[in-house]
Structure 1
Amino acid sequence: MKINIRGYITHKEAEKYSDCADRYAANTSNNHFAIADGVSKSFFPDYWADILVNEFVTHDLDKELSIENCQIVWLNKVADKVNAPDVKWYTKNAFIRQEPGLATFVGLRIEGGKWFASALGDSFLFFVPNGVKGFDEWIKLSSKPLPIVFDSFPDYYSSRNKQHGEIKRIEHSLVEGTFYLMTDALSEWVFDKQNKAIEEINEKWHNQEEFERSITELRLLNVLNNDDSAILIISVENDGENNLTYGDVEIQNLMELVEKEKDSEVETLVTQKETFVEEVKSSNLNKVSISDNLPIKKENQQIFSTEIKDEIELSQNAQVIFNKCLSVYGKSLKQMESIITSIGKFSKRMKISVEEQKKIKEKLKEYGISFKN
């Protein structure tokens, strides 16, 4: 038998890859595959989901998933995070309260011409044999009871306590067809659209970009819930060989997406900074004298800080600030008004009296400049 694998993952709308709590893993050396959905409101669910899938795909063929080992790994990893100097107080408090990480899970292993799967929660395994058309003929696995109803209370593995719910297990002979392991948002969509959903997956999801485009479209059409979404697509072909072989293996690495996201954010910040600097330079070049923007009461009359100084006695500090208003913020009356109004903020530090502020404002009012209270 020949196996081809595709795996894609994305985050909720308006969030980042670094926020995604779905995980998957595949090991082609022992033919183990797993997917998990970290429950978002639990404590470090992304760590827990990641540990579960990696523990499953790396353990020996004759062993079940060791939750106890996973719990130890999770606790040590979270303790390191909580003991970091910059950790938030509420994170420490949650750790002290012994809050757990929670995750749903599906695991698949192929061995000796058969396949074995286990599930806990509302993540699903679907196996669609070649030539099968009807949804009822698919093999489906999760721990949800019939009839299937998706809600906010799935079974789960806990990083501190016993599991919630009963693990479901199945085994079948290996035949040609395709396994689809997916988290709950995609599972609910498949139950709703059935063959149409599988057609969308088979026809459009051939790389990460196509997957994300399709997810966006489905969300806009309100047929897919806005949730983290992950899928492993494992196709099995009869190539006449007794042993398992692997053809195309394309599994998107989430950490690579996170790093690309960080690089993109840095590039965006650099671009924004460069744009801001250019705008400031352009603004300074285009500034005009404050006298060009002030209204003229008499022919050829212009206002300069020196004229105001002659007519109003100001302290040296007040004069310094007022001159700066004229030279730096003299582009428009609005800017002039803003800076003069803000002089009050400097009154204590610069020892500018309230009376001096009033004198400046009263004089400028004579030329049509009004100020906020």
Structure 2
Amino acid sequence: MGGRVPGMIEHIVIAGASLAGLRAAQTLRDEGFTGPLTLVGAEPHRPYNRPPLSKSVLTGDDDVALPGGDEPEAAWLTGRRAVRLDAGARVLTLDDGAELRYDGLVIATGAQPRRLPGDALVLRTLDDALALRAALARGPERVAIVGGGFIGGEVASTVRALGIPVTLIDSGELPMAGVIGATAARWLADHHRAHGVDLVTGARVTEVAGGAVLLADGRRVEAGLVVAAIGVVPATGWLDGSGVKIDDGVVTDAALFAEGASGIVAAGDVARWPHPVFGASVRVEHWANANEQGALAARNLLHGPDAAEPYAEVPGLGTRVHGARVQWAGLPALADASEVAAGSVEEDRFAVAFTRNGVPVGAVGVSFPKEFNRLRRAIVG
């Protein structure tokens, strides 16, 4: 049957050529699919490693090679964007009008950064990072970063290491409280301030204009450079009218098959699925999630719904902020109780356990990987 596999899948298209899309393509070939395979990527670059963009790339290191980045045999359509899907006819339309017919489709289009009104840079792609690096090299007197989350915190850390004054503005009372909990978020706020960051919390930004960030309470934060790090939205606009169910991402079943259409799976930042461990519908914007989910989505697409496996990996991520290692796993936001299970906040080395009805649902560690890993293992029992 040549390139054919069970389910009469002959041609597979992957919409999205970043990490999740690459892992899907690699898995399809590893699983024995020899038919036509097409990857469509909006960026002009082949897949690269995103974590360095907010760290080493900003200081001059151009190494963004993706671990395990070997490219399988496929048609690579880079610098091309999916703009419309006819799921019934199984036709994907690109921004140049070209139509791709498929038997199986992997949606891995990721997410797009939210933007502020006015003149602010964002950081999502390699080109974004290079533009920000060039702006930093011009020596701004101060950099204002709007958003104290994962990316905002890393950029603040990198910019301070370059010796540039930083103001970090966050709408919450504590940075990353919704992700790492109040105890670790209080520590993080103090950690930023201890490293010279001017932290402004509980502040809503209305506009960036005239070399300043304008706040809703009338304050102005003067800055020669402004970076918006206020999160992302799933890249699903091209799916409007397709029949694929959208709700803050592509809604899938536990095995990552898209609801509302057949022959389609989703993976990475764009996918929302019912997590079997937590009993909640989740969408995860983590490197590890895209890495693992892309592979399973492809495997399930090949072997069909009857043989599909649910995606049950516990989400987790680590970062470094001003030299300190911060890790989190599970879904701490679901917890109804938390406690410092090891170490000491005052000594900048501790781990926090999160539970719901006495059942572990999350873990956070600050410079304490051994205890963090112990708590993480408890989440899955």
- Output the TM-score relative to the length of structure 2: 0.21
> Quick one: higher RCO (CA 8 Å, sep 6+), 1 or 2?
1
Larger radius of gyration: 1
The structure richer in strand per residue is 2
- Output the TM-score relative to the length of structure 1: 0.21
